[in-house]
Amino acid sequence: VLSLELNKDRDVERIHRGGINTLDVDPIEGRYMLSGGSDGVIGLYDLENLSRKPTYACEALFSVGRSHLDVHKYSVETVQWYPHDTGMFTSSSFDKTLKIWDTNTLQPADMFYFDETVYSHHMSPVATQHCLIAVGTRSPNIRLCDLKSGSSSHILRGHREGVMAVSWSSRDEYILASGSADGRVKLWDVRRASGCLSTLDQHNGKRSKFYSEAEMFAHNGMVNGICYTNDGLHLLSIGTDDRMRLWNSSTGKNTLVNYGKICNESRKRLKFAISCGCNQEFAFVPHASIIAVYAVFTGELITELRGHYDTINCCVFHPHFQELYSGSKDCNILAWIPAPRKPVADDISEKSLPQQHLNPAYEDAWSSSDDED
């Protein structure tokens, strides 16, 4: 991950005529990727190199294009694979709908309608006891849509403005995090009648003795991005106050890791990613036409990935190969891969290698009878 670079040998077929807002790689095989664009189009790509050639293109197997009867009327903001099966995926849009798609027929198996613009939705990656989709809209209420019953009657109330981002815990299937335009990040237990477990506070409740929950803010601006670490023990949030904060998800405390200024000019959900399968975790944060890579637990800016020509809206990490995919307003999807390590040439003799670290016990002390003469 530390050596990620633009893969110049791999293209992703260009099917969108507008900016790409959202990407998702299937968690089962890691072979198929979804994209959603501001043109309302959804693309489905095969990431495998079937040609076996060094230079190849990831082809779009299918697309829900403008001529499709059930295409979204406006910008697609979120796409997500069903966590347990590639036979189904979900999409939500500014057209106030959430659609459940059958991958094989490319037809909606179910559809949910809302009164407000939909900003984001998320299904739990670990749920076995429920099939709930959390939906954040311009309304301050979070809607929970049940795939089994087809209803969206469950509502979580507590925010004061629109809910920009929602994310289920990667550790506990009943815990949900939400970020709102009111500057707050809330944690919810969907089994509780009251719902809200806690409201996260950037000052950890130390500003005054008479501190009330009404004064607790995670950010001094809209919270438009949240993401759990892979183990679910921490939560990252990003706000339009140009700050990123790392929270202990069990205590709700701000860990006070300093990432410096995080330039966040997006006024809708910012889809950043966290690495998976690395012995140190990294956050990939889009900023204008670059992706800033931060060490999650130290706050260090590791590197900046450059390759897009316009604002980057989303990125997704591919844990199987430690790769990254990013989508931008320039209508392109780029692949970032670890730089290959340079092999040591076979013709390099041992004598030319550094000898200072050789233990004397292992030195060659053998001599032939010719040498003795």
* Beta bridge partners of residue 324, listed in sequence order: 317, 336
Q: What span, in angstroms and rounded, lies between the C-alpha atoms of 222 and 225? A: 9
Q: Which two tokens stand for residue 4?
A: 């990620």
Farthest-apart Cα atoms in the chain, separation: 99
Q: What span, in angstroms and rounded, lies between the C-alpha atoms of 270 and 159? A: 19
Cα separations in angstroms, 300 against 33, 73, 144, 362 = 30, 41, 37, 41
Q: Could you tell me which of 203, 211, 125, 206 has the C-alpha nearest to residue 170? A: 125
The single residue listed with the structure tokens 């995670």 is 218
Q: What span, in angstroms and rounded, lies between the C-alpha atoms of 6 and 309? A: 13
* Least confident window among 79-93, 223-237, 329-343: 329-343
What is the Cα gyration radius of the chain?
Answer: 24
Provide the Cα torsion 64, 67, 69, 75; round to 10°: 60
The DSSP output letter for 297 is: T
Q: What span, in angstroms and rounded, lies between the C-alpha atoms of 191 and 312? A: 37
Q: Note the helical H segments in the chain.
A: 369-372
Averaged pLDDT, 366-370: 52
The DSSP output letter for 362 is: G
Please give the mean pLDDT across all residues of the chain.
89
Residue 360 has pLDDT above 60, yes or no: no
Residue 347 has pLDDT above 60, yes or no: no
In the 3-class helix/strand/coil scheme, how is 81-109 assigned residue by residue?
ECCCCCCEEEEEECCCEEEEEECCCCEEE
Cα separations in angstroms, 199 against 160, 187, 269 = 13, 7, 20
3-state helix, strand, coil in the chain (%, to 5): 5, 40, 55
**pLDDT interval class at 208 (50, 70, 90):** low
* Least confident window among 271-275, 354-358, 367-371: 354-358
Residue 85 has pLDDT above 60, yes or no: yes
pLDDT, tens digit, 9 for 90 and up, residues 112-153: 999 999 999 999 999 999 999 999 999 999 999 999 888 877
Q: Which two tokens stand for residue 323?
A: 């790769």
Q: What span, in angstroms and rounded, lies between the C-alpha atoms of 273 and 284? A: 5
Sketch the domain layout of the chain as residue ranges.
4-338
Q: Which two tokens stand for residue 232?
A: 């679910």
Cα separations in angstroms, 58 against 7, 118, 182 = 12, 30, 40
* Least confident window among 15-19, 47-51, 210-214, 255-259: 210-214
* Beta bridge partners of residue 196, listed in sequence order: 188
Q: Which CATH code for domain 4-338?
A: 2.130.10.10
Q: What span, in angstroms and rounded, lies between the C-alpha atoms of 280 and 15? A: 35
